[in-house]
Amino acid sequence: MSTDERWCAMELAAPGRPLQQVWRERLPQPAAGQVRLRVAACGVCRTDLHLVDGDLAHPCHPVVPGHEIVGRVDAIGEGVLDLTIGDRVGVPWLGWTCGACSHCRAGRENLCDRARFTGWQIDGGYAQLAVADARYVFKLPDRYADEEAAPLLCAGLIGYRAYAMAGPDAQRIGLYGFGAAAHLIAQVAVAQGREVHAFTRTGDHTAQALARSLGAAWAGSSDDAPPAELDAALLFAPVGALVPKALRAVRKGGTVVCAGIHMSDIPSFPYAWLWGERRIVSVANLTRQDGLDFLRIAAEVPLQVHAHRYPLACANEALEDLRHGRFGGAAVLVT
């Protein structure tokens, strides 16, 4: 790509508006500690919908969404020593942290108060080019094509953090909202010998069939009670009303993990549903160690990634299809 070549991005000017295709005249130059990527694919995440809909505060300037980026290193800034031109890498949601606060020093950079996020405060991967902090760039397993690797960068990573928070003793796990994250984590859980119960929208027989095909022991509606008490429930649907339902489904001492960055209000419920040392916890972003751990598993376990491809220019269509649950698995923009 020559220095004077125009490049395309899908840009959000303000919440509630459709993304606009824009052509930029100058190539972004990586600063010290950064790399530039030629984007091959970018996953479409529900967090992107929250940004478009205004559930996340808009950064007050046009922004390029997308935080499940797969691309090739195209330029390298000063001080980057572990990446070379042409490396295939991925960029996740957490895009920058201060490295100095108590959370960062403790290896919990996911809680950094100064953190900046890909596709929100930092231009993301709904574009032909992206610039990323090299600290938050991961080399990807060779076994996955670009469109298969993209969902691993958020659906996989955030899903894995939620899965890990359930604890090693959670052998019977419920997954509420069987989309991009759940269809990956279900396979990890089954490969590790755990029993998976999948909860979907009422009447979503396609998602239920997908769950069974991936090894789920049971699949049904989120309104249904599972056939046995759960040790843990992971909520990937941003629906607060699922929290009391999940609490009723887990055993004493069980855990309900809320895995989304945004959720509708949780309705009131009797204390008796929480009693018995049941816990409600939330997932906030990811750590670099989560990335290393999950991608190591993904290299060993041949995950079936159900990716629905869209051209970059069709980003608005992909977002609407995600909003209305028109596919199982994950949507991916390809450039």
What CATH number has the domain bearing residue 164?
3.40.50.720
Name the H helices within the chain: 46-53, 102-105, 146-149, 155-165, 180-191, 205-213, 242-249, 271-274, 288-300, 315-323
pLDDT at 51 over 60: yes
Using a cut of 0.85, tell me whether the model's pTM lies above it.
Answer: yes
In this structure, the answer to whether residues 22 and 145 fall within a common structural domain is yes
The sign of the dihedral angle between the CA atoms of 294, 298, 299, 301 is positive
pLDDT at 164 over 80: yes
> Is 173 part of a structural domain of the chain?
yes
pLDDT at 5 over 90: no
Query: Are the C-beta atoms of residues 41 and 333 closer than 8 Å to each other?
Result: yes
User: So what's the pLDDT on residue 1?
Assistant: 45
In this structure, the answer to whether residues 187 and 203 fall within a common structural domain is yes
Of the candidates 263, 230, 260, the residue with the CA atom closest to the CA atom of residue 245:
230
In this structure, the answer to whether residues 188 and 139 fall within a common structural domain is no
> Is 290 part of a structural domain of the chain?
no
> Is 2 part of a structural domain of the chain?
no
> Is 230 part of a structural domain of the chain?
yes
Residue 240: both structure tokens together: 């607060």
In this structure, the answer to whether residues 66 and 117 fall within a common structural domain is yes
CA distance 233 to 243: 9
What is the number of domains present in the chain? 2
> Is 299 part of a structural domain of the chain?
no
In this structure, the answer to whether residues 112 and 216 fall within a common structural domain is no
Three-point CA angle 97, 139, 11, nearest 5°: 60
- As a whole number, mean pLDDT of residues 306-335 equals 93
Which of 115-118's residues contact partners 24+ apart within 8 Å by CB, and which partners? 115/285, 117/67, 117/93, 117/285, 118/66, 118/67, 118/69, 118/91, 118/92, 118/93, 118/94
Q: For residue range 85-107, what is the model confidence (pLDDT) as tens digits? A: 999 999 999 999 999 999 999 99
In this structure, the answer to whether residues 164 and 205 fall within a common structural domain is yes
- As a whole number, mean pLDDT of residues 166-173 equals 96
In this structure, the answer to whether residues 184 and 240 fall within a common structural domain is yes
User: So what's the pLDDT on residue 4?
Assistant: 63
- As a whole number, mean pLDDT of residues 24-48 equals 96
Query: Are the C-beta atoms of residues 119 and 126 closer than 8 Å to each other?
Result: yes
The residue segments making up the domain with residue 136 are 7-153+305-334
In this structure, the answer to whether residues 188 and 266 fall within a common structural domain is yes
In this structure, the answer to whether residues 187 and 240 fall within a common structural domain is yes
Q: For residue range 171-194, what is the model confidence (pLDDT) as tens digits? A: 999 999 998 899 999 999 999 999
Check which CATH number belongs to the domain holding 320 and give it: 3.90.180.10
Token pair 């967090």: residue: 47
In this structure, the answer to whether residues 20 and 136 fall within a common structural domain is yes
> Is 105 part of a structural domain of the chain?
yes
- As a whole number, mean pLDDT of residues 121-138 equals 97
Q: Secondary structure of 162-208 in the HEC alphabet? A: HHHHCCCCCCEEEEECCCHHHHHHHHHHHHCCCEEEEEECCCCHHHH
Residue 188: both structure tokens together: 């990890």
> Is 287 part of a structural domain of the chain?
no
Q: For residue range 234-289, what is the model confidence (pLDDT) as tens digits? A: 999 999 999 999 999 999 999 999 998 889 999 999 999 999 999 999 999 999 99
> Is 291 part of a structural domain of the chain?
no
In this structure, the answer to whether residues 104 and 236 fall within a common structural domain is no
In this structure, the answer to whether residues 126 and 63 fall within a common structural domain is yes
